[in-house]
Amino acid sequence: MATKKNKRGFAGRGVAAAVVTIAAVGLAGCGPNLSMITAPWSEPEAVVKSKLFGKKNVNFDNVPIVKAVDGQIQQVTVVGPDGERVGGEMTRNGSAWQIDTSDLDFGTDYTVSVVAVDMRGNQTNAVDSFRTFVPENELVATTNITTGSSYGVGMPLIVTFNSPVENKAEIEERLNVETNTPNPIVGAWNWESDTQVTYRPKQYWPANTKVQLNADIKGVNAGNDFYALDNKREKFSIARKFVMIQDSASKQMKVKKNNKTIRVMPSSSGKPGYETRSGDKVIMSKEQHVVMDAASTGIAKDDPEYYRLDVYWAMRITWSGEYVHSAPWSVGSQGSSNVSHGCINLAPSNATWLFNQAKIGDPVEVKNTGRTQDLGNGWTMWEESWNDWKSGSALEA
């Protein structure tokens, strides 16, 4: 078989470090009698480089990669002062390695050991170090969830920050919601303000779901040099499906458990001028006893509509003061007239039963009052269409 030659007449090299040998056998004529000519091609050795090495104030926004020039990364080990290892992943087809910043601590020295190989398989070892920064401002995240608690199917997951978040997308992409459902739940975050982001599913949570929030925000710059010093985890569960439906036209409250009606109770809601707001609401708190003072709603003490009452078995559904509660003074009107100042009145026996059955996060669907629910006056996320809700995500675009 003939050897394919290039323009100079030499056979093309078939491996990276090949040596081409030309043998002159039985050459005649003028000139020296060359028995052998050798032309070696050499490959450069791998060199390990990183702007990370020797750095004393590494923040977590854009940690430099560790890379191998003229070679491949074979192994990278990053170790803290107590021997704890930091994770990472290969990039650039194996020629670089990126640190997992969620494993880093602030103000800490780390040692980096790298093994790289060149194209011939020769090994290069490199050891260096770096130190992480200490942020001046701490971002603190709190939630409306108590780990280990059980909530209703309408429960929102609310994360509140102690400082306005400018880099919303960077924070939101670190907020992950996991469930034990066979199929993934469709849900979205919505920034209701610069300091608060809320998660809700497209529909009510499936009954008996286990939920975990993984807020892996440690080291993320929220803006204005505020950094979270820790990640946050919350685990909670969703209970049975329990929905209260208040029809202010019929003056009845229907209670459904797992889609089956288990009780219908006479009720009374807001009278003309004080109508209860219609909409899909959520129980935000349960208070066995609360003092309701009309002055908190702007009613003067000399106004005939003024009241100050000790109220029992009360469950809040708006920030402005709407409750579902016991109202022994309106039992005669319950089922026939709407006489309250906006709350949903029930007989003491019915209110006590409902208080003991309901959970925070259970939906209260109010209908036929003639007054619409104002968004933000309570946990009103179920009043928004799915498209409107998810448009409040910093990642939706």
Q: Render each residue's pLDDT in the chain as its tens digit; 397 residues.
A: 444 433 333 333 333 333 333 333 334 444 444 444 444 556 788 999 999 999 999 988 789 999 999 999 999 999 999 999 999 999 999 999 999 988 899 999 999 999 999 988 899 999 999 999 999 999 999 999 999 999 999 999 999 999 999 999 999 999 999 999 999 999 999 999 999 999 999 999 999 999 999 999 998 999 998 999 999 999 999 999 999 999 999 999 999 999 999 999 999 999 999 999 999 999 999 999 999 988 888 888 888 889 899 999 999 999 999 999 999 999 999 999 999 999 999 999 999 999 999 999 999 999 999 999 999 999 999 999 999 999 999 997 5
Complete DSSP assignment for 241-271: -EEEEEETTTTEEEEEETTEEEEEEE-B-BP
CA 44 to chain CA centroid, nearest Å = 46
Catalytic residue from among 30, 289, 325, 341: 325
- DSSP three-state, residue 340: strand
Picking from 119, 163, 117, the residue whose alpha carbon sits closest to that of residue 140 is 163
H runs (alpha helix) in the chain:
168-172, 348-357, 386-390
Instruction: For residue 30, indicate whether it is catalytic.
Output: no
Q: What does DSSP say about strands 96-99 and 66-69: parallel, antiparallel, or unpaired? A: antiparallel
Give the H or E element holding residue 222: strand 221-223
pLDDT at 6: 37
pLDDT at 360: 98
pLDDT at 14: 35
pLDDT at 42: 64
pLDDT at 102: 81
pLDDT at 268: 98
Q: What does DSSP say about strands 36-40 and 19-23: parallel, antiparallel, or unpaired? A: antiparallel
Picking from 52, 58, 18, the residue whose alpha carbon sits closest to that of residue 38 is 18
Picking from 200, 122, 96, 116, the residue whose alpha carbon sits closest to that of residue 158 is 200
Give me the half-sphere count of Cα atoms (radius 13 Å) on the Cβ side of residue 66. Answer: 30
Catalytic residue from among 30, 289, 341, 343: 343
- DSSP three-state, residue 45: coil
How would you classify residue 304: left for phi > 0, otherwise alpha for psi between -120 and 50, otherwise beta?
alpha
Instruction: For residue 325, indicate whether it is catalytic.
Output: yes
Amino acid in the structure at residue 28: A
Match 């011939």 to its residue by tokens. Answer: 120
Note whether 97 and 88 are within 8 A (CB): yes
Those residues with Cβ within 8 angstroms of residue 144's Cβ, 6 or more apart along the chain or in another chain? 156, 157, 158, 160
Picking from 108, 102, 210, 112, the residue whose alpha carbon sits closest to that of residue 155 is 210
CA angle 192, 144, 211 (to 5 degrees): 100
How far is it, in rounded angstroms, from Cα 162 to Cα 165? 9
pLDDT at 40: 52
Four-residue CA torsion sign, 328, 332, 334, 339: negative
How would you classify residue 348: left for phi > 0, otherwise alpha for psi between -120 and 50, otherwise beta?
alpha
Note whether 145 and 113 are within 8 A (CB): no
Picking from 341, 272, 349, 268, the residue whose alpha carbon sits closest to that of residue 308 is 341
The first and second tokens of residue 242, run together, are 């329990």
Note whether 313 and 351 are within 8 A (CB): yes
pLDDT at 24: 38
Complete DSSP assignment for 328-364: GGGTTTTTT---BSSSEEE-HHHHHHHHHH--TT-EE
List, in order of start, the domains of the chain with CATH numbers: 47-131 (2.60.40.3780), 138-239 (2.60.40.3710), 242-383 (2.40.440.10)
Note whether 358 and 350 are within 8 A (CB): no
The first and second tokens of residue 65, run together, are 């990669």
Beta carbons within 10 angstroms of residue 289's beta carbon: 9
Output the CA–CA distances (angstroms, integers) from residue 63 to 75, 133, 137, 202, 260, in the order listed: 18, 11, 20, 36, 55
Those residues with Cβ within 8 angstroms of residue 301's Cβ, 6 or more apart along the chain or in another chain? 295
